Amino acid sequence: MSDGPPNNQTAVAMNTPAESRVSVTVTPTFFELFVATLSVIRYQGAFIVFHAIFPLAGLFLLFTAVYVGRGLTMSAALIALLTFSFTPLITSLSIWIARRTNRLAQGSFTVSFDSEGMHTSGSAFSQTVKWAAIPRVRQSKRFMFFFSSPLRASYVPLAALRAAGSLETVRRIAAEHTDFR
């Protein structure tokens, strides 16, 4: 969702008497989606090996070209460059296609947290994911990731939570119901 300046996001914190409920509305930019998608890779366990295969193949190609003594050719350098940029290129393409064709991925989103779970809504949908379906929550420097499976996570930018003054409340709620780190 969004980590940009306040002019492209609205953050609101609400408290109900019965329980703590926090809501944040964000408008994700392409760059924020890109950074979040790449950032979540480090929390996906063994799947990180998949993302490392292409850069390692590029290093192998460069090493063998130099080691064998043929020197670095233009075609070897181009192939190596493509292997190093495979994950960012595929990520960019996926985000671009989703934002253009999937109505669920367009516009602003409101994310609310309470003792029941995480509630997300947009112009085309409304969804509740109960805490029982969120086994872990991880926080990076820019985002808080809510994992519903080993490879799938929703995220909320920390800047939006800070702007709403609700970062600590969300941390507390997540720590009560999940493995939060």
Asked if residue 15 is part of any domain, the answer here is: yes
Lookup: tokens for 120: 């997300």
In terms of domains, do 80 and 139 share one? Answer: no
Which residues have C-beta within 8 Å of that of residue 54, sequence separation ≥ 6? 83, 84, 86, 87
Asked if residue 119 is part of any domain, the answer here is: yes
pTM comes to: 0.74
Asked if residue 154 is part of any domain, the answer here is: yes
Phi and psi, residue 17, nearest 5°:
-60, -35
Number of independent structural domains in the chain: 2
Domain ranges, residue 169? 6-28+108-180
Q: pLDDT, tens digit, for every residue of 46-101? A: 778 888 888 888 888 888 877 877 777 788 888 888 888 888 999 899 999 988 88
In terms of domains, do 20 and 67 share one? Answer: no
In terms of domains, do 83 and 130 share one? Answer: no
In terms of domains, do 114 and 76 share one? Answer: no
Asked if residue 33 is part of any domain, the answer here is: no
Q: pLDDT, tens digit, for every residue of 109-151? A: 999 999 999 999 988 889 999 999 999 999 999 999 999 988 8
